[in-house]
Amino acid sequence: MNDLFSALNKNYDEMVSIRRHLHANPELSFQEVMTPKFIADYHRKLGLEVREGVGGRGVVAKLPGAKPGKTVALRADFDALAIQELNEVPYKSKVDGVMHACGHDGHTATLLVLAKVLKEMRSELAGNVVFIHQFAEEITPGGAKPMIEDGCLDGVDVIFGTHLWAPTPLGDVLVRNGSIMAAADMFEITIHGKGGHGAEPHNSVDAIVIGSQFITQLQTLVSRRVDPLKSAVVSVGHFEAINPFNVIAESVVIKGTVRTFEESVRTLLEQEIELLVKTICEGAHATCDYHFSRGYPPVVNHKKETQFIADIACSVPEVTNVKECAPFMIGEDFAYYLEKVPGTFFITGAKNPEWESAYPHHHARFDFDERAMLVAAKTMGMATLKYLKHK
């Protein structure tokens, strides 16, 4: 593996250059045009087999080994977020209101340079490597599902993926067997009351008061309806009534998210939220429209592949700690890949040791220690070589 590590070290500057180019030129989910073209062109210059427009805007490149064998897939996402960047760095986003605030630029740079290095080691490959570059991870329905339906996993025996994680110290690799990330669902409710003059509430049905009662009682669903030995989060992020200050609102719109790990809890909350809002509205002489939208399922890692990555990470020189982590309540459509083939999704620490704290993902000042890309590349690269050699 020393040849792999040495080659990645030599190409680290290119990895940083690619990451910064992508960071300066971000594209939103489902609007990616230049990013997939950049990715496809890079792989073509390496001489790999390339498919563009996979599932919509995805790119899949295949590296056939010198000898027959199994097929390993590696995945990176490449979409950005609708956030105005506040960092003052040379590679600051050039696109108003759009930035890479989650590390997807780093994921892509990692995978591209790893492809370059593995291509140089093709004679050692007994099998194939598939590089899956996914669009639209940030917004449901996401890019993973349509890419799978378009054949990105055809012939794949195992898949590995990682997320560069700014809150976790550089040198730490976090793994978890089973559920590592939650199902991410969304609900939207419109409460219909009866508008009127603010001075005459008795002649109205105040949608704001009803909505407030609902939000307050909503907090009891996790504490009183969900088994305390199981995890769930219900959060309201949007409460809107477009109304003058002295007018009782005719209607309000409420939107929120539900995060769970188990299907039974997911279904329970979907039903209980509907029952709660309809009961409150009925008691207040109002009506409502309720819509529950299922997002990504939980990311459920496979035991054997998770232990495999943990063992591999222990051999990477830059890795100082390999830990089992608690599950995250965030969502990730890597879940769909793991429903189809064995694999694991792990966390690569990306917090600079000199930083007192790191800005969270999806923050306008988000950034990460670029050396984390090297850790990710070495871990996934070594896993690829060992898996193909072993199989």
**Rounded average pLDDT over 298-313:** 98
Q: Which one is catalytic: 137, 172, 206, 369? A: 137
Predicted confidence at residue 390, as pLDDT, reads: 84
For 173, how many CA atoms within 13 A lie in the half-sphere containing its CB? 31
250 catalytically annotated? no
| Residues facing residue 253 across a β-bridge | 190, 240
The model's pLDDT over 360-376, given as tens digits with 9 standing for 90+, comes to 999 999 999 999 999 99
Residues of the chain above pLDDT 70, percent: 100
137 counts as catalytic: yes
User: What are 253-298's pLDDT values in tens digits?
Assistant: 999 999 999 999 999 999 999 999 999 999 999 999 999 999 999 9
What are the chain's domains?
A: 2-181+298-390 (3.40.630.10), 183-296 (3.30.70.360)
- pLDDT number for residue 357: 87
Q: For all residues of the chain together, what is the average pLDDT? A: 97
From the list 77, 79, 105, 333, the catalytic residue is 79
Extract the annotated binding site. 102, 104, 138, 163, 362
State residue 317's pLDDT score: 96
Helices in the chain by DSSP H: which ranges?
A: 2-10, 12-24, 34-46, 104-120, 144-149, 207-218, 220-224, 263-283, 303-313, 334-340, 371-390
- The answer, yes or no, to whether residue 228 has pLDDT greater than 80, is yes
CB 134, CB 78: distance < 8 Å? yes
Q: Annotated binding site for Mn(2+), which residues? A: 102, 104, 138, 163, 362
Q: Output the pLDDT for position 236.
A: 98
- pLDDT score for 258: 98
pLDDT digits 0-9 by tens, 113-161: 999 999 999 998 999 999 999 999 999 999 999 999 999 999 999 999 9
pLDDT at position 391, please? Answer: 73
